[in-house]
Structure 1
Amino acid sequence: MPELPEVETIRRTLAIHVTDLMIKNITLIWPTAVCGWEGKAFEDLVIGRRIIGIDRRGKYLLIRLDEEITLIAHMRMTGRLNYYADHQEPEKHTHVVFTLEQGEVHFSDVRKFGRIQALPTPLSVSESSLRKLGPEPLEHEFTPAVLKDRFGTKKVSLKAALLDQHVLAGMGNIYVDESLFQAGISPERRVDTLSEEEISKLHQAIQTVLQAGIDAQGTSFRDYRDANGEKGWFEQALQVYGRGGEPCQVCGQTLERLRLAGRTTVYCPRCQK
């Protein structure tokens, strides 16, 4: 599933191509992939409107159109938004084609979990899943004190808490494992046992790892590609994720794999206390 660094990379690479362009037509190959608003068809809300910018909130893309319409796109497990300068025949798993003044944007999704919703911009937070999201981990307002406050008195594992989008927006399995390794804290630790120093280390690790992921344009194991169809290369920097049974690159201890919060988790039992 694309996480914050992947979605941010899609935002940046897509915005370069489509900002200020009008959406001239929409082809719905699998209509369930989109959702309109209060009885208004998706196409009626979108066709003829100009793309004025693209924002990101957690793992969601917010494609801003003129006349106060926003498209909220969630990639889920395998969704992609690809830009093509010329006409491109839809691939097997392409569900929506946006024809622009210049080029096309294809929304494809092998698993068919991704969705694009159109709704009035003033309601894009209050009437969507965005209203429940936690803070953005790369904003200046996100401090160790904020992280502590978001944890509250939860009695769950750190892995479960950091995967919870209500606690912190944008984190997923890859970057949670990597952040906990960099902070030197076990994913099994209960949130309410962390010291002030550990919270501070974790806060710094989260920001460092996410920024490194963005700088590498994300992690591409299987489905993820940016808007140009290019892979990210953060996989080359992974310390623990996907490396269960291999030696730790810091201490040489065999990395252990376990199941936490319903997700496979990899950590170093020596480096992460």
Structure 2
Amino acid sequence: MPELPEMENYRIQLSQLLVNKPIHSVTINREKSINISSNDFINHLKGSSIVRIERKAKHLLFHLSTNKILLLHLMLGGWMFYGTEEEKPKRTIQIQLSFGDKHLYFIGLRLGYLHLLTPQECEEELKDLGPEPTYYQFTEANFLDYLQHKRGNIKLKLVDQHFLSGIGNCYSDEICYHAKILPTRKIEDLQEIEQKQLYHSIRFILQSATEIGGYMEHPLYKNDQKTGSYNNHCKVYDMEGTTCSRCQDTIVFIELSSKKCFYCPGCQH
């Protein structure tokens, strides 16, 4: 599932490609991926333009010239591609927004969605999300204070969108590895020095992964050399049985409440 760095990479690149371009046409191949009738959805979007793209947690918000918002959540398996009809992947397209001879294709939206909402409806939809860990307001002091009344397994708290926004299975494991902390430990058992290290690892991993382009397997457009580059930088995620680059122990895999969890027993404590 795309996490904060993947969605932020999408936001940055799509902002350069789409902002202020009129939407010439819309194609809906799966009505379950939207929240209103296809005709109403198409009629509202046709002729409008995207004036700004915002990210909150794992969502993208396409702010339209009509003052409404397209709220995107790709969920598991969802991705996007921008290009011509000839360039598009040989995959089933659920939704297509056309900008002249180029189109934004929404692919793999079996669980994901693209909903047309008012700003008030969008705010209500996202109101329960936790703090954004890459925002400037997310300071070390604020984080330490935030942890004072938090309890639970570190891994499971990191992927809890009510605790922090945008972190999923991959980056929770990479954060714990960078912090040299076992993901199976409890938040309430961390010493202050470990809490501080966890904070700096959250910031470092998410910012680094965003700069690199995240771990998405699929390019956003033809000859896209950035999207997915973080795949080669993972230290523990999906690395079961390989040798730890830091201590040469073996990376192990477990499940925590049905969540994948990878870590190094040699240098995570």
Q: Mark yes or no: TM-score above 0.5.
A: yes
Number of residue pairs matched by the alignment: 267
Residue in 1 that maps onto 2:229: 233
Q: Is the 8 A contact 1:6 1:226 kept in 2?
A: no
From the superposition, tell whether residues 163 and 218 of structure 1 become closer, same or farther in structure 2 (CA, over 3 Å).
Answer: same
The answer to whether the aligner puts 1:63 opposite 2:62 as a matched pair is yes
Q: CA separation in 2, counterparts of 1:209 and 1:80?
A: 22
* Structure 1 match to 2:17: 17
- Indicate which of 177, 180, 201 corresponds to 1:181: 177
Contact 2:131-2:138 within 8 A present in 1 as well:
yes
**Structure-2 change in CA distance of 1:12 and 1:26 (3 Å):** same
For 1:229 and 1:68, how far apart are their aligned partners in 2? 33
Q: Which amino acid aligns with 1:121?
A: P
* Unaligned 5+ runs, structure 2: none
Aligned to 2:122: 124
**CA distance in 1: counterparts of 2:220 and 2:100, whole angstroms:** 21
State the TM-score, normalized to the length of structure 2: 0.91
TM-score by length of 1: 0.90
Moved more, 54-63 or 111-120: 111-120
Shift of 1:91: 3.9
Quote the residue 1:115 is aligned against.
113
Change (3 A) 1:80 1:227: farther
Q: Which amino acid aligns with 1:169?
A: S
- Match in the other structure for 2:50: 51
Rounded to whole Å, the distance in 2 between the matches of 1:32 and 1:255 is 40
Change (3 A) 1:90 1:159: closer
Structure 1 partner of 2:40: 41
SS state of the match for residue 6, structure 1?
helix
Residue 253 of structure 2 aligns to a residue whose secondary structure is: strand
Aligned partners of 2:223 and 2:155: how far apart in 1? Answer: 31
Following superposition, the deviation at residue 18 of structure 1 comes to: 0.8
1:120 partner amino acid? T
Give, in angstroms, the shift of residue 88 of structure 1: 6.0
Residue type of the alignment partner of 2:264: C
Equivalent in the alignment of 1:269: 265
Q: Which residue of 1 aligns with 2:92?
A: 93
1:134-162 CA-to-partner distances (Å, cap 9, x unmatched) read 11111111023333444453432100000
Contact 1:14 1:82 in 2 (8 A): no
With over 3 angstroms needed to count, the CA separation of the structure-2 counterparts of 1:76 and 1:224, relative to structure 1, is farther
Give secondary structure in 1 for the equivalent of 2:167. coil
Unaligned runs of 5+ in 1: none
Q: Percent identity?
A: 28
RMSD across aligned positions (CA): 2.2
Is contact 2:153–2:184 with CA below 8 Å preserved after alignment? yes
The equivalent position to 2:191 in structure 1, one of 182, 190, 195, is 195
- Establish whether residue 157 from structure 1 lines up as the match of residue 150 from structure 2: no
Q: 1:86 to 1:15 in 2, by over 3 A?
A: farther
Q: How far off its partner does 1:44 sit?
A: 3.0
